[in-house]
Amino acid sequence: MDKQTRRGVLLTTLALLTGVGSISGQTARLRGRIIDTSGTDLRGVEVVITALGRRVASGSNGLFLLDSIPPGTHTVVFRYPGYGPREFSHQYAAGDTVGVEVTLGQATVRLPEITVVGASAVTVSPRLKDFVRRRDAHIGGRFLEDSLLRTKEHSQLSQVLRRVSGIKLVYLPNGRGIAAASARGKEVTFSTPHPEECYMQIFLDGLRVWHPGMFDIQSIDFFKVQSLMAIEVYRSPAETPSEFNGSWAKCGTIVLWTRDH
């Protein structure tokens, strides 16, 4: 499979735009914009929470709003003819507003699950097929796998990342945790705190959940080691694969993959 085809298979990333804010009421809402890989707004994309029987369609500007979402974890599916579907799972709390940007790519043939053949066959989660491909391609980056993470379940994620060269862990003020920054250079991305640090963007299951353009710095320890089955660390844009690259990758990228259960 050539590089262009692989990019087509990877399709998209979902990026949190507005984080979580407060609204009145006992339900939550999801709002966002849907585009294709060229950045064009997509109209008529079906946005559905099957378990709730809720669905809307994006407007001419690609915008959509799903409101009255009850608290709890729900999976939203985005479907559009000729494009590969995308799913987004999130745990909603009463009063939350979650913003996303969804990029859909042309539909491709679904690849089978990856099987590692050895003394006994081990089936790898389909969600990790691209993790395995990137790891085995030796394209750069650092890869922490489930076998290691299960031995570190009682550790903070910042403690696990201390073993990765090229990451600088920055203590945030007022006990807000520890942020991950690049140890390779500095760039002004915030007025406070530590404006000289170059903070790494964070992806969770293909969703960009934090980048240096957001106001609040995300503590890496917000993510629990016991819920993760794989981690990718790219310390510069040169190391970062195309599906995670872009203007927010200049300080490096951390990609987290959660367990299936």
Q: CA 107 to CA 9: how far, in whole Å?
A: 8
pLDDT of residue 160: 94
φ, ψ of residue 181 in degrees (nearest 5) = -130, 165
Regarding whether 250 and 137 lie in a shared domain, the answer is: yes
173: domain CATH number? 2.170.130.10
Regarding whether 158 and 36 lie in a shared domain, the answer is: no
pLDDT of residue 232: 95
Compute, in degrees rounded to 10, the torsion defined by CA atoms 190, 196, 202, 207.
Answer: 30
Asked if the structure places residue 55 within a domain, the reply is: yes
Give me the domain span that covers residue 145.
125-258
Regarding whether 84 and 169 lie in a shared domain, the answer is: no
33: domain CATH number? 2.60.40.10
Instruction: Say whether pLDDT at 192 is over 50.
Output: no
Average pLDDT for the chain: 79
Regarding whether 236 and 130 lie in a shared domain, the answer is: yes
Regarding whether 159 and 79 lie in a shared domain, the answer is: no
Asked if the structure places residue 117 within a domain, the reply is: no
Regarding whether 131 and 27 lie in a shared domain, the answer is: no
Structure tokens belonging to residue 19: 């984080």
Give 109-121 as a DSSP string.
PPPPPPEE-SSS-
Give the model confidence (pLDDT) of 211-227 as tens digits.
888 878 889 999 999 99
Asked if the structure places residue 109 within a domain, the reply is: no
Give the model confidence (pLDDT) of 109-118 as tens digits.
444 443 444 4
Count of structural domains, the chain: 2
Cβ count near 37 (within 10 Å): 15
Q: Which of 55, 49, 97, 56 is nearest to 73 (CA)?
A: 49
Asked if the structure places residue 47 within a domain, the reply is: yes
End residue of a domain, out of 104, 139, 161: 104
